[in-house]
Amino acid sequence: MPTDKADNIIIFFQKNKSLIISDILRGRGGLSAEWFLVTRSDNDSVDWILKDINTVCNFYGQGTVTISPRGSLKIGRVTMQRKGGTPDPTSLQFKINPLDLFED
């Protein structure tokens, strides 16, 4: 990808980062999330954490917008990449590690 196009992509996502993170994690409209629940299991115990969605959006939005060497876009702590395994090359997937919230 030409450098000028990559720079324009980074500028766009940096300007709209909070809205994009909110759309990914919270959603919009009447069914938008207000809470974020994460559970984890270690051997015989189960642990969980419940956080309000604004805190979660701020947590995952921390950091800069960059393009990885393999072409994925990092938006703070969220990775955006083309969804593989499907015949539709225009689908995107967003990845987070929910267990990171336990360290916050």
- pLDDT per residue over 5-23, tens digit each? 888 999 999 999 999 999 9
Mean model confidence pLDDT for the chain: 91
| Residue ranges making up the domain that contains 93 | 3-103
The secondary structure of residue 72, as a DSSP letter, is P
Residue 54 predicted with pLDDT over 90: yes
Give residue 5's pLDDT.
Answer: 85
pTM score, whole prediction: 0.84
Own/partner pairs, 3-11, CB within 8 angstroms, 24+ separation: 6/67, 9/67, 9/73, 10/65, 10/66, 10/67
Q: How many domains does the chain have?
A: 1
| Amino acid letter, 75 | I
Give residue 104's pLDDT.
Answer: 67
44-60 average pLDDT score = 95
